Structure formats: structure tokens, C-alpha cells
Structure 1
């Protein structure tokens, strides 16, 4: 159990987010909007600049829709700093949130570097959607200050955050992660460090079955999605959601969970085929639907 004194949420001044991609830029945005100094890190200038541009675009859309004031937009961007050096990014952070791709070796490598450079009091969190938080935490000297903080895409809109506690997580770390999530405007749930946690495990099994139904010709992608939206109140069908998440990401999680939890998570052949063909969903312009300028065009 951790002996480190973690800060309270009121003592948090700076948040470092490692990874400026789909999830990371959104996490940095909500951290800055919560009033904290936010450092957005990635491996090169192009990646961090692209992340900042996406934050600016999100905020501009919010202003246009009357959901964000121009003053709040400018203040948020003013709290944001970019970095391409991990040690620089985390050196003054009270909370560090890693948002790298879902590869255990990569996450452990990042946490090892963070452990050398971040303040001893900092909360260390991973945005992993399915990997073992305990195995990630084993890369640092004090695993008690490590938790999962699983955000949802798009981060600046989605309200849920899963706080994942491994067996060695300090209660204070879990408490702080929940409080940080609440300060960001999220509703936290606490889940055990189990493969797929709650949301990925449930969401994936429905998504995989929808792909199998499409594969078997049960119904079209649009009709399967409509069934779940109108019949079960889903805001988005499971196939459209797969396109949004990325079919390569879906495949990676499916492969991991099939090893951990059994054959019911085995990827359908259609999913493998689409990924092999580069049909990754919204980000590639083609998945179960066609996408243009970020908007769904049809199957």
C-alpha cells in the first residue's frame, strides 16, 4: 500500500496528459477547462500541434453553439502548454494521465519514465480501456499511487469516467481520481481491475455480436443500429460506435479479451478482414459506414 501523501483535489494545480491523439487531446481540454494548468505531451511537434488544433476546434464549436463562452475558450487555451519531452511534461504535475495506444509494453515504458521525473506526490493514471492496471502499475516504485482513469470519446462531451482500482491502489488514489473526474464534469464509477472493466467488456460483446449478425446477413448495418437505438434506447448503434472508436482498436481489445476471458470475445472474421483492408471506421473514411469530413454518409 502507498505511503505517499497524495494531494486533495483542491491542492491540484497542474495536470500532464501523455498522448495528444483521439483521447489525450480531449483529456487535456477538460483538464484545462476545469481550471488547471494542462501540459499536453506527444513524441513530436506535429502530434502536439495537431492535438492543440483539435482542442481549439472543439472550443470554437462550443462557442458557436452557445455552450462555451469566448472568454472560457481563451482561458482554456491559455492554460494549455505543449511538450515533446516526458520529463518536462510531468516535472510539476500533481496528476499525470497517460493516453497512449493500447499496448502494455508501451504504457509500462511510459510509466517507468514518468516515475523518474514526476513529483513523488503525483497521482499516476492510465486511460487504458481494457489492459491490466496492476501490470502497468508494476512499472513504478510505488504502485499504490496508480489507478485507471478510463475516459470516453469524445472526452469533452461524454460524461462517464471509469476509475479502475487494482489490488494495490491506495484508497486515497481512488478517491482523488474520482474527485478529479468530477471536477472535469464527469460522473465517476469505480470498478475492479478486471479485463475490459465494466464498459469495454459490455460494450464489446454487443459490438462483436452485431458484427456477427452483419456477417451472417441477419440485417444491414443501418437496420442493426436502428434496432438498438429505437428498441433499446441506445444513442448510437453498436456498428456506428465501432466506426467511431476505430475498428483496429476494437480488434485489439477483442484479441486481448478473448485471451483473458474466453472464446465469446473472439474477433469475427469480418472484423479482421476490414482491418486488413484498412477499413478502420471514421478515421479512415470507411468502416461499416462511409465517412466524409467527419460525418456519416451511409454504408
Structure 2
């Protein structure tokens, strides 16, 4: 690809004005970029612009707009229903439409024909193959994953995913773009389903679903357990908040690409069929019609141990480290700490009691009948990853690159 420097990028495009898309647009505009936001309906675009304004109002009240006004930031955002000539000067386009592979492929093909030859096409997909999307273009070396986390403005992590043909130049450019947004890019060196954060967390849903199916605990009891240990939301309330349809897309994709054990459970499918998708429809696992659902924090259970969620995550993380998916093992904790509410990460469990962790994973695999929980051999002797060391290594590497540029 032609050499592309971050300093040359003034205009970007974002395709899809939903929760993630409008957040990405706001972030780019806040950091000085002119942004074209495309969707298929003027009402959707109008709603996105309104939500961006509301978010900027909050930032202004908190004194986080620095010397800029809301109108200055909004003045960098242009709403479009078709491409026309809007992409002629865009060196980066970020696709942020729903997790439907056929739709994403269609958009990638369109972008390939509209963007300058030097431009990079990124996808905000949380699970899907970068390589497969790149196959729809004539610039597969310039296709990359750029997975933001919700809410985009607050979460620091952006996973930068390398497809089979993504060039090192594209990876480096995309990392630098993430830095220009004041975010922390975490490179994902192999195009594995779910990448880092979502992949590590995926077995948790399998465990939670089995706990419900086996009637070990109720939705509210499990959520109360998590709230009691300081989590802002329990896993089922969070599932409702994000959307059961979103969860189903991801779970069924994992079932197809990783193991059938990840498939969305019967109770989720029944709720979706009934039109109960969670917060967005006022009903899902819980009733949201009067606001955030009430969860009785005194109704906990000792039959479910919230720590088990982290145990299965450690095992999945070990698989990624063994496969060489991350540059530094500590990148996994670094990504989790900056993309979720888990500021402690997961690898402290290895320091706590590795033998217990392995024995408990074997117990869960047998008790639940889930092979995915079976501890891998690599876990027995794996060095304990450090997010702090990974962050120091990233900072050192970035400084060396800056110093080299000055020469």
C-alpha cells in the first residue's frame, strides 16, 4: 500500500449510526477529525446527532471539552445517506453496522469502490473474521479490525486486529490513529473469533447459561451475587442492557467457529421470539419499563460462586497466549482492565492458587458437561502475565518509534 501517515489524515468516515457508530463519530470529532456519518435513514442519523449532542453536553458540564464548544465539535460531523463524493478525501473508513456478515461484506465492497486507493477500511466487529471481510475488497492488506468498546467515549481499549493479509503498515497506522484518539490500542496478532476481550469472556456465558438451565440459581440471584462484590451490573442485567439479540449473534457465531457449546440457550431464543430483547424493548430477562430493574441484593445464593466466571476466563486466555494471539501475555489483562468494569483483571487468580484453579476447572467441566472448561496443559506451567509489564513495554516501544522518527 502507498505510505500513509497519521498526520495526513484529516477526514474519516463511519458507516452505521447505532450505539457504537455514533460514539466513534463523537470520539473522532472531539479529536479534530472531520467525520462523515452514513446510514440508510435520515431519522436514524438525526437520532445519532441528538445523542452526540447530549453526550457533549455531559462532557461540557464536567469540564472535559477543554477550549472547544459543542458547536465546534458538531461542526466537524456531516450526515450522509449516500456516498456521492464524500469519501474522496477520506483515508480511513470504519464500518459499525450490526453483526450480520452479509451486510458487512456488502458495505466493504461499496467502500472499496468509493475510497481512495491508499485508504484503510476498518471494521468495528466484535467477533467476525477480518480476513473474510477483506476478501470483498481489492485491498486486503489495508483491511483491519478496530474494535471499540461501549461506551466508546469512556472505554480506553481499542483492539487492533490483524487479518491474514493485513500489512504491518496498516496495523501500525491503525494503532497510531487509536493513539490520536487518546485510546490504548491492543494489537491482536491472529484473526481468532472474538479477538481478546469477547473471546476470553465467552465461556462465562456458557457457565451462566448452564447454571440457569440446571436451576442452580435464578437470574436475579446471580446478578445479586455480582452486585454484592462490587460489580455495577450483574451479567444478566448487562445482557439485557446490551440486547439479547446482540448476545445471540455473538454466541451463535462462536458456536459455528469455535465449539457448539457456545450456542445461545433455549431461554434466550424464546425471549427473542417473543420480541423481548432487553432494555431496548422494555422487556427481556427483566422488566425495564419503569427504568433500571430492581434486583434484591439480599437474595443471593451460595450455590453459585462468582469467582468461577473468572476461572473459565483464565483458561480461555491461556489458550490465546499459547496460540500467539497477543504480543505480550499481559496484553489480555490490559485489554480487560481498560474495556470492562473489571479493573483487577483475571490473572491474579493464578497468583492466588493455581492448583485450586485447575482442580475447579476440572470439576466445572465434569459437573456442567462442558469440554470448553477443561484446563489446558499450558495453564499448568504458564508464567503469570502482567498488565503493568505489558503497558511499560508498549510505552517503551512507542517512545523508541517516536525517537526514530525524529532522526
Q: TM-score, normalised by structure 2?
A: 0.68
Deviations 1:56-82 (A, max 9, x none): 111112223443358342221111111
1:6 and 1:122 in contact (8 A); partners too: no
Deviations 1:193-241 (A, max 9, x none): 111111222223213422332343333333313433554x644322122
Give the equivalent residue in structure 2 for 1:195: 193
**Per-residue deviation at 1:127?**
0.6
Alignment of 1:213-292 (within 5 A): 213-231=211-229, 234-292=231-289
Asked if residue 296 in structure 1 is aligned to residue 288 in structure 2, the reply is: no
**Per-residue deviation at 1:287?**
2.1
State the distance in 2 between where 1:95 and 1:115 align.
11
**Per-residue deviation at 1:110?**
0.6
Distance verdict in 2 for CA 1:5–1:48, change over 3 Å: same
More strand by share: 1
Give the equivalent residue in structure 2 for 1:20: 17
* Greater mean alpha carbon deviation, residues 215-224 or residues 260-269: 215-224
State the distance in 1 between where 2:287 and 2:273 align.
17
SS at match of 1:147: strand
State the distance in 2 between where 1:284 and 1:68 align.
33
SS at match of 2:13: strand
1:122 and 1:145 in contact (8 A); partners too: yes
Deviations 1:75-103 (A, max 9, x none): 21111111011344422211100001111
Instruction: Please provide the CA RMSD for this pair.
Output: 1.9
Alignment of 1:21-36 (within 5 A): 21-36=18-33
Distance verdict in 2 for CA 1:243–1:6, change over 3 Å: farther
State the distance in 1 between where 2:220 and 2:245 align.
21
State the distance in 2 between where 1:21 and 1:124 align.
18
State the distance in 2 between where 1:70 and 1:218 align.
54
Could you tell me which of 66, 77, 80 is aligned with 1:83? 80
**Per-residue deviation at 1:117?**
0.8
Could you tell me which of 105, 130, 141 is aligned with 1:133? 130
Give the equivalent residue in structure 1 for 2:203: 205
More contact order relative to length (CA 8 Å, sep ≥ 6) = 1
Could you tell me which of 89, 96, 101 is aligned with 1:99? 96
Asked if residue 158 in structure 1 is aligned to residue 155 in structure 2, the reply is: yes
Structure 1 portions without partners, runs of 5+: none
* Greater mean alpha carbon deviation, residues 36-45 or residues 282-291: 282-291
1:123 and 1:173 in contact (8 A); partners too: yes
Q: TM-score, normalised by structure 1?
A: 0.91
